[in-house]
Amino acid sequence: MNEQTINCPDCSTPIPFDPYALVQGKQFVCPNCSASIGIDQGSRETVKNALDQFESMRSRLGKQP
């Protein structure tokens, strides 16, 4: 899993999440206040494309001498 964190919009507690699961529609719940984060269906393709481009760029940069 490629886990990241984002601060809860309600209490600022870090919420662990997997960006790829997020773009697939998974919701993640704050361990402190039970607020949830997710991506709207209409935004998933845009976020997935950005994430794929980021991973591609990171991969290319990692292979430079």
- Residue-wise pLDDT tens digits, 5-61: 999 999 999 999 998 898 889 999 999 999 999 998 888 889 889 989 988 998 888
> Structure tokens of 14?
């870090």
For residue 36, report the phi and psi dihedrals to the nearest 5 degrees: -120, 150
Residue listed under structure tokens 């490629």: 2
Q: Who wins on pLDDT, 21 or 3?
A: 21
Spell out the domain ranges in the chain.
Answer: 4-62
pLDDT of residue 60: 87
Enter the pTM of the model. Answer: 0.68
pLDDT of residue 1: 47
